Structure 1
Amino acid sequence: MEKMHMRMVAVYAVIAIMLTIGALRVFSISTGEAYTQAAQQNSSYSLTVTQGRGSIYDCNLQHLTNFQDGYKAAVTADPQTTTAFSKVLSDSQMQTMLDRIGEGKPFVQKVDEYIPGTKALFFPNVTRYREEDPLCPHIIGYVDSDGKGVEGIEAAYDDWLGKAQGKSKVTFSVNAVGEALAGVEPEVEDTMSNLNSGVMLTIDKDIQDIAQKAARKYLEKGAVVVLDVRTGAVRASVSVPDFDPDNVQEALNDEDSPLLNRTTSAYNVGSVFKLVTAAAALENGISPDRTYDCTGSVDIYGVTFDCYHQRTHGLQNMEGALAQSCNAYYITLGQEIGAKKLLDMTAKMGFGSGVTLCDGIQSASGTLPTLDTLKMPAALANFSFGQGELMATPYQVASMVQCIASGGTLAKPYLVEGLVDSSGQLIEPTQQAQPVQVLSSETCDALRLMMAAPVEYGTGTGAKPTIGGAGGKTATAETGILVDGEFVNQTWFAGFFPYDNPQYAVAVLAEDSPKGSETSTPTFRAIADGVEQLMMRRGQSDPALQDAVAVPKASEQEDAPPQD
């Protein structure tokens, strides 16, 4: 109470001084020579209150940049204004404001809300990036101190975003000492509506939020890519750890390399690649009923390859071997397919080729073994279950799933819908590559049925959504790198949901993670559940949607094996 009393005393003291000084100045300049000199020295004083550049939007024209954060006010020394501001500002803010008033010139004051009953001019304050949990910073990028795009969309579309600059500028008529002249209306220049022009991305802000929260909960380092099954449009792209685009310097000093975009970087692949091996087998006439009796390992010309933890899987067909992630089954399947046919199928499904997501943003090509290398039976064995020289990006793995879930059509992932004018109209849609049919619908029907098995009773049960069902595949990819006596592995989950009517293809990478059951699979489940709830809120979900896949009877399934 005493503190508030002292504060009000200070405010009223300042107001009294302002009134006294004002009266003296009126008297002074109203007499003779002083009036003439002051009139001759009257000039203008301009304040740039707010400024910004063009907006980056999601696919629904929700802002990914340019967020309102309270207001900025152009303030002049005025008792009524000072009193009104004193009721809402903190002690430190009020002290700063009183200091500025003492300087005499008009100034800019940041406030959380509009304050009625003042002579101040208020403008919405626009901050470039969301302060808490910035949205897809590896895609959007950032600007430098001059407001010029440096990375990501900010750099790729710097010319267009820069042309859409806007500002709020107030020009006051002032006397010789810089004080605003009473009774003279200031001139206001407000072009902030220019910021409505910008770039529309394929990102869905709400799905991006869901994916970011899931990734941060379960992944220390890694990536998530969510693609629209029908078109290949990128609905979410997450790389963790991420960074604050307003404080890039901090990220430069972080040993976990938060500036690295892990979604476009290549990693060892592992058993998610068994989907490609299965696709090659089916496309070349090998029956999904082909069986193999797994004893926990297989010998290929004197080289022994083990199943995960040397687990014995027994007699398996193609679906059961995928559910249990039986390496021996898929190694022998690869030998039967042959090196050239398997390598050709891998390339057709997008591996070994970089993806240009938009101007200025491209994913790595990854690595494919050569046909000469695969002529060695042991190299082909490694390749058949995703090991050896094979490396791929999360975008390539997500595209593989998109192809299967769509019925065999491979749609190139893309990030930008086009340019938007100041009225929010899409004026220059980007030209997208035509999807390519690379698998038969019959092959994809069989693959989708197989992919339900890991989620329902196999290595990926932790990825099963609450409703809607899903298909997918787990992986634990060996890197051969030894750190502190332990081998470094990359764990994956790649899948689609909902099962009956696939809408989204997802790749989750947990970098340097020992257990996918604690990282990649729960990340997928959280995304699938979150998106389904989102679709219900939007009225886009099938109200009759139930689990699409019946869980096999206990007599038909083994205990869920550990994730490979």
Structure 2
Amino acid sequence: MKPEKTRSKLFNRRAALLLGGKILLLGGLGTRLYYLQVVESERYKVLAEENRVNFRLLPPPRGFITDRNGDYLAINIQNYRLVLVPEQANNADGVEATLLKLSHLIDLSEHDVKRVLRETSRRRAFVPITVRENLSWEEVSRLGVNTPELPGVNIDVGQTRHYPYGRNMAHVIGYVAAVSEKELQNSDDPLLELPGFRIGKNGVEKEYDIALRGTAGTSQVEVNALGRVIRELRRQEGQPGHEVRLTLDMRLQDFIGERVKDEKAAAVTVMDVHTGAMLGLVSTPSYDPNAFSEGLRTEEWRDLVNNPHHPLTNKAIAGQYAPGSTYKMTVALAAMEAGISPEHSVFCPGHMELGDRRFHCWKRWGHGHMDMTEALAQSCDVWFYDVARRIGVDRIAAMAKRLGFGDPTGIDLAGERPGLIPTKAWKRATLGQPWHMGESLVIGIGQGYVLTTPLQLAVSTARMVNGGKAVRPHLAMRRIDGNTVEPRVHDPFPDLGIPKGHLNIVRRGMEAVVNGERGTARASRLRDTEMEMGGKTGTSQVRRISKAERDAGIRSGEDIAWRLRDHALFVGYAPAHDPRYVVSVVVEHGGGGSTAAAPIARDVLEEVLRIEARTVSDAGDLPDDDGSDRVKADDAKTEGTG
């Protein structure tokens, strides 16, 4: 009996232990269930709701860009794109078979096919893949007719950027393109993560990209456990981007583009001398910005980059050239400030000796006796050699800086370059060499180290003829800072402190350039005899002319290679009696400024005056930046014009 009692006690003990263990396990499980269902119920409810409902960003329509008259320069147009859902294609013929069918209906490159197959292997089967964008209406129609035989294929409608004026506005408007990895890393804007989203890469599109983007909308959709969209629950459209209105006049811009289309490389700028509003800004050769918006092919990009005339460069703000004789007004103002009289006379025999070197005038046999006004009118190099030797490079540089040379003008356009105004300290710091007197002579005629941009030439001329006001150029009619757009308020531009009498002397010389009997641009005076313009020709060398070549006779025009020819420049303003518009022209390797650049400037100023006359007749006045009255500068008038 004793063994049986022992076995019974042992069994009871084990049963009790098993029961206790089960009770503990059930208690722990119950506690856990209570914790999950009661204590953490709100948390898991939120998590479950988030798994069921997704929020998606909706890209807003990009803001339009217009000219001063409301003519559209950048708009959005419908973009038909072809998308493919892999799981629907796999359930039928397969992705590769579907792509093969598509290649018989539309132009589908081998690169497109490889890209789609690569994305098919990376993405979930129900996620649509873009096969091709920017389908023509004919291609859309062809695909629509064959849709029953193309499983998984759909036509999606989006928006793409379009530039109606293409090449004539490319350097100003710029273009949009896909977001790069670097841009994505440096921005916290979630819009940039959207597939196919495009941002401004150049020009106004880049300068005012934030304002043009707008504010994203949201879409609330219900999804299943795999992330497949079941239905859209709620949708809130975003705020379209701001419209950016420019001061440019498309009529003038088109005219300039047509006028310089035969030049291999040139730049033209037109500006209001009182407000700084840019009316025209053209650089040639140009490119088609729509190609960037639609997707540039490798061959197209290679052609643009390797083009020797640099179509991607906005020469009006980024082309840096020796100003040649267009710099002589700056030297004349510096001379008068240094105490040299406008009546200062210099005899020009066609050259000037300095040590063992001879510095030549453009007129081989010389001009004879010259004062300041005649030296400007006939562009006598020897007179300016003499003055530059007397006052030195640093005084010339100080005046040049006040007139706007050597620093960016501050125009609201990406890519502006500063040019270069040399000084003794600059050469010592940059090249580690002392300044030589001969270099001052060369600077006196706008050669040597000095570099300017066509826009700087226009700004400096405007400051000379508007009464010495430090006008600054701008493109947007309204002030735009980030996503804030406000009316532009014209505070009075600061006075440069240049005596009005000095400015009047320079203006008389510039008017004699065009209207004087011996002026270098007398052949380009305005054809309307009731109107006059002032200006200054310039010719800047791109190579040094040897003594042997001078003795044999300097070759020019077709006799030498295009890249060895001089640059042609001209700055001008009109009307002469009350300046309002200023123009600068640079024709790369165009030869003489009087023959290549001055006629272009004349034609452009005549067109500006015609547009003004038509606008005054129709509306009473030419629109200014924001409709406000322009600042008058009556004290800028000369006492009698040439």
TM-score by length of 2: 0.61
2:462 to 402, 425, 428: 402
Overall identity of the aligned pairs, in % = 26
Match of 1:186 in 2: none
Q: Give the conservation status (yes or no) of the 8 Å contact 1:416–1:430.
A: no
Give structure 2 stretches of 5+ with no counterpart: 1-58, 81-135, 179-196, 220-234, 293-300, 428-433, 546-559, 623-637
AA at the equivalent of 2:534: G
CA deviation digits over 1:324-351, x for unaligned, max 9?
Answer: 1110011112223344322321222222
Q: Give the conservation status (yes or no) of the 8 Å contact 2:60–2:239.
A: no
Match of 2:486 in 1: 427
**101-110 or 404-413, which moves further after superposition?**
101-110
1:252 to 305, 313, 317: 305
Match of 2:176 in 1: 143
CA deviation digits over 1:272-312, x for unaligned, max 9?
Answer: 11111111123334332222221111112332111115142
What is the CA-CA distance between 1:190 and the residue it aligns to?
11
CA deviation digits over 1:341-363, x for unaligned, max 9?
Answer: 22321222222222332274433
Match of 2:244 in 1: 199
What is the CA-CA distance between 1:393 and the residue it aligns to?
1.0
3-state SS, counterpart of residue 496 of structure 1: strand
Matched, 1:511 2:560: no
RMSD: 4.2
In 2, Cα distance between equivalents of 1:368 and 1:517: 27
Matched, 1:461 2:514: no
Match of 1:229 in 2: 273
Matched, 1:345 2:399: yes
**355-364 or 382-391, which moves further after superposition?**
355-364
Match of 1:6 in 2: none
Matched, 1:298 2:352: yes
Match of 2:502 in 1: 443
Matched, 1:476 2:476: no
In 2, Cα distance between equivalents of 1:62 and 1:377: 53
AA at the equivalent of 1:194: P
CA deviation digits over 1:519-562, x for unaligned, max 9?
Answer: 3112101211111111111017999xxxx99998xxxxxxxxxx
In 2, Cα distance between equivalents of 1:127 and 1:499: 46
AA at the equivalent of 1:216: K
CA deviation digits over 1:181-234, x for unaligned, max 9?
Answer: xxxxxxxx9979935x232333333332333222324x3202112121002222
Matched, 1:384 2:435: no
1:66 to 70, 75, 79: 75
2:378 to 320, 324, 341: 324
1:530 to 596, 607, 631: 607
More helix by share: 2
Match of 2:209 in 1: 158
Matched, 1:490 2:536: no
In 2, Cα distance between equivalents of 1:102 and 1:383: 75
Q: Give the conservation status (yes or no) of the 8 Å contact 1:200–1:419.
A: no
1:416 to 476, 497, 518: 476
Structure 1 residues 527, 316: closer, same or farther in 2, change over 3 A? same
Structure 1 residues 498, 287: closer, same or farther in 2, change over 3 A? same
Query: Which runs of structure 2 are paired with 1:6-17 in the superposition (5 Å)?
Result: none
1:239 to 258, 276, 283: 283
AA at the equivalent of 2:604: I
User: Which of the pair has more CA radius of gyration?
Assistant: 2
What is the CA-CA distance between 1:472 and the residue it aligns to?
0.6
AA at the equivalent of 2:533: A
In 1, Cα distance between equivalents of 2:577 and 2:478: 32
Structure 1 residues 370, 138: closer, same or farther in 2, change over 3 A? farther
What is the CA-CA distance between 1:241 and the residue it aligns to?
0.7
1:211 to 236, 242, 256: 256
Structure 1 residues 507, 213: closer, same or farther in 2, change over 3 A? same
What is the CA-CA distance between 1:103 and the residue it aligns to?
7.1
1:315 to 347, 369, 392: 369
In 2, Cα distance between equivalents of 1:354 and 1:90: 46
What is the CA-CA distance between 1:494 and the residue it aligns to?
0.8
Structure 1 residues 293, 227: closer, same or farther in 2, change over 3 A? same
Q: Give the conservation status (yes or no) of the 8 Å contact 1:141–1:152.
A: yes
3-state SS, counterpart of residue 456 of structure 2: helix
3-state SS, counterpart of residue 451 of structure 1: helix
What is the CA-CA distance between 1:409 and the residue it aligns to?
1.2
In 2, Cα distance between equivalents of 1:363 and 1:438: 26
Match of 1:115 in 2: none
In 2, Cα distance between equivalents of 1:439 and 1:231: 19
Structure 1 residues 147, 459: closer, same or farther in 2, change over 3 A? same
What is the CA-CA distance between 1:487 and the residue it aligns to?
3.3
3-state SS, counterpart of residue 566 of structure 2: strand
Structure 1 residues 411, 329: closer, same or farther in 2, change over 3 A? same
3-state SS, counterpart of residue 395 of structure 2: helix
The count of residues paired between Structure 1 and Structure 2 equals: 452
In 2, Cα distance between equivalents of 1:102 and 1:147: 33
AA at the equivalent of 2:440: L
More strand by share: 1
3-state SS, counterpart of residue 531 of structure 1: helix
AA at the equivalent of 2:538: A
What is the CA-CA distance between 1:501 and the residue it aligns to?
1.4
Give structure 1 stretches of 5+ with no counterpart: 1-49, 73-88, 111-124, 170-188, 553-564
In 1, Cα distance between equivalents of 2:613 and 2:497: 33
**468-477 or 91-100, which moves further after superposition?**
91-100
1:452 to 497, 501, 511: 511
Q: Give the conservation status (yes or no) of the 8 Å contact 1:497–1:505.
A: yes
**236-245 or 253-262, which moves further after superposition?**
253-262
Q: Give the conservation status (yes or no) of the 8 Å contact 2:61–2:240.
A: no
Q: Give the conservation status (yes or no) of the 8 Å contact 2:577–2:641.
A: no
In 1, Cα distance between equivalents of 2:146 and 2:615: 50
Q: Give the conservation status (yes or no) of the 8 Å contact 2:166–2:290.
A: no
Query: Which runs of structure 2 are paired with 1:58-137 in the superposition (5 Å)?
Result: 58-66=67-75, 98-99=145-146, 128-137=161-170
In 2, Cα distance between equivalents of 1:139 and 1:529: 23
